[in-house]
Amino acid sequence: MSIFDRLLASVRKPTDRPDTPAAPLESAPLDRRHNKRVNARKGTTVLIIDDSPTVVAVLRKALRSAGYDTREALNAEQGLALIAQDPPELIFLDIILPGMNGFNALRAIRKLPASQNIPVIMISGNEHATEQFYANRIGADDFMKKPFSRHEIFARIEALLDRDFIPRRRGEIVPAAPFFATPPATPSVP
pLDDT tens, residue by residue, 63-116: 999 999 999 999 999 999 999 999 999 999 999 999 999 999 999 999 988 899
Q: Are 107 and 139 in contact (CB under 8 A)?
A: yes
Residue 123, in any domain of the structure? yes
Count CB-CB contacts under 10 A for residue 109: 25
Amino acid at 8: L
Q: How far apart are the first and last CA of the chain?
A: 103
CATH number, domain of 127, equals 3.40.50.2300
Peptide bond connecting 147 to the previous residue in cis, omega within 30 degrees of 0: yes
Per-residue pLDDT tens digits for 35-67: 666 777 788 999 999 999 999 999 999 999 999
What per-residue confidence (pLDDT) applies to 37?
A: 64
107 against 19, higher pLDDT: 107
d(CA 32, CA 21): 26
Q: Are 167 and 89 in contact (CB under 8 A)?
A: yes
Residue 83, in any domain of the structure? yes
- State the pLDDT confidence band at 26, using cuts at 50, 70 and 90: very low
Residue 110, in any domain of the structure? yes
Residue 82, in any domain of the structure? yes
d(CA 86, CA 174): 22
Residue 164, in any domain of the structure? no
Count structural domains, the chain. Answer: 1
Range of the domain at 72: 45-158
Question: Model's pTM, two decimal places?
Answer: 0.70
Per-residue pLDDT tens digits for 158-189: 888 888 878 888 765 444 444 334 444 444 45
Residue 100, in any domain of the structure? yes
